[in-house]
Structure 1
């Protein structure tokens, strides 16, 4: 299995960033992923856009809507990944797909094979009904496609155990309930306990997301025991700003990453530009 967070070391936890495929347009994906690769981002969580997510805040919802308005489809996303994947040195790509909008009508084995054949390094399935999870997990296993599973810091023992049992790429621990882009304060004690519980149950890295916007947040997560951080809305907000201002989205995101990788930093770029994830 690929090491999704190969760059992590003491004082520098792994980093995953979330983007909706097609926002910025898919034509920009080669330059964007090359920049992420050059800047030691470990993983790109690349979502096949879908509308009306109950777990996403306005920034990511608006991003998905822009991509959908441009006609982005699963096939287009997989073709784009297939084109860029051979040139990457370290960056891994985990495809995020919504069951209801993207996966529901596809045979699990056919879908898993298509994701694998495109060159995706892993798969995160969103919104799969509990009774249908196992067929998709088994199909991914047959395809040799590593899985990203999810649970919450406040999930019960059974949900945590299921996520730990099936994770083979990494386990995405959602820091708190609510929609992405929220700024709820982390419950440090609960989060540290959840990370410890999961680490004892699975050998794969534990990555924490929701509300991660600064280098200081990433430093805190490492102190609590996380292997990696997942940054979503803050980065997507920068891309939206670049689009609205007519700026180069790759350079805008490069600037964001530079500050994000500086330990203990405050959200100065967000504040200066008036960007609100």
Structure 2
């Protein structure tokens, strides 16, 4: 695993950008070109999911994307092999893997060792059982694997503290409780106090996602003090439309990234 910081060079006047995609949607044969485009566009992070079925935390856009990727036969080995063929200068890869579908069948220790040796920069495990958290923290720390931890604005203080202590890649603040693709009704302004609280608990960058659809939301998160904005369902929808219309998904995503960066994202 490369030893590279997430959201490097971000200071008090700007905000990083992360995209979420399912590996295999578009097909893995397209992934190297897609990664090079993201790197050249200076997208800071790609949260790349090893696809898994029937996610209860995802809305229809991401679930359908996972189904398309699984239909292509996408699995952990294929994803890591593809990543190993690409060298990136700017974009970091945060690998997302589901506990039940990907991690448990391989075994926690072997999975962490596999990720340690892969061309990824951080790890986020979806659906990690509470009873396995301590073992996961110990295994990743021992292997030197950077961890993406998650929390919610209304998480209990003890949960915020645990997530902040676990995060070594970055802390992912999920903007509200719900499925991917949904957005907080009150917007993002209220997250400023939560972000300030988290800064007292961790030195890791704080990235915020759920409901980030365009430059207006990115700018709002910059104003709230986030280190990065995570764009998920909106990016996946670009891929979905490109595939349905037989367009170039890489080209369409490049246009989407340019749109995300077209409005000032400076903090007030």
TM-score range, shorter chain: over 0.9
Alignment length, in residue pairs?
263
Indicate conservation of the 8 Å contact 1:11/1:219, yes or no: no
- Provide the residue aligned with 2:84 in structure 1: 82
- Provide the residue aligned with 2:95 in structure 1: 95
Q: Secondary structure at the match of 1:226?
A: coil
Matches within 5 A, 1:82-161: 82-84=84-86, 87-161=87-161
Q: CA deviation at 1:9?
A: 4.0
Runs of 5+ consecutive residues of structure 1 not aligned to the other structure: 266-277
Once the two structures are superposed, residues 233-272 of structure 1 have per-residue CA deviations (whole angstroms, 9 ceiling, x without a partner) of: 001000100000000000000000001111269xxxxxxx
Q: CA deviation at 1:192?
A: 1.4
Scaled by the length of structure 1, the TM-score of the pair is 0.91
Q: CA deviation at 1:187?
A: 5.0
Cα distance change of structure 1 residues 19 and 71 upon mapping to structure 2, 3 Å threshold: same
Q: CA deviation at 1:31?
A: 0.2
Once the two structures are superposed, residues 6-29 of structure 1 have per-residue CA deviations (whole angstroms, 9 ceiling, x without a partner) of: 253454300110000000000001
Equivalents in 1 of 2:144, 2:47: separation in Å? 18
Runs of 5+ consecutive residues of structure 2 not aligned to the other structure: none
Q: Secondary structure at the match of 1:201?
A: coil
RMSD value over aligned CA atoms?
1.4
Q: CA deviation at 1:143?
A: 1.1
Q: CA deviation at 1:184?
A: 3.2
Q: CA deviation at 1:105?
A: 2.4
Cα distance change of structure 1 residues 59 and 7 upon mapping to structure 2, 3 Å threshold: farther
Cα distance change of structure 1 residues 35 and 7 upon mapping to structure 2, 3 Å threshold: farther
Deviating more after overlay: 255-264 vs 143-152:
255-264
Once the two structures are superposed, residues 153-209 of structure 1 have per-residue CA deviations (whole angstroms, 9 ceiling, x without a partner) of: 111101111100110000000000111111332454541121111111000100000
Cα distance change of structure 1 residues 3 and 100 upon mapping to structure 2, 3 Å threshold: same
Q: CA deviation at 1:106?
A: 2.5
- Provide the residue aligned with 2:207 in structure 1: 207
Scaled by the length of structure 2, the TM-score of the pair is 0.94
Q: Secondary structure at the match of 2:182?
A: coil
Out of 63, 68, 71, the position equivalent to 2:70 is 68
Matches within 5 A, 1:179-258: 179-186=179-186, 188=188, 190-258=190-258
Equivalents in 1 of 2:156, 2:189: separation in Å? 16
Q: CA deviation at 1:43?
A: 0.6
Q: Secondary structure at the match of 2:85?
A: helix
Equivalents in 1 of 2:12, 2:190: separation in Å? 22
- Provide the residue aligned with 2:47 in structure 1: 45
Deviating more after overlay: 235-244 vs 191-200:
191-200
- Provide the residue aligned with 1:262 in structure 2: 262
Equivalents in 1 of 2:6, 2:200: separation in Å? 19
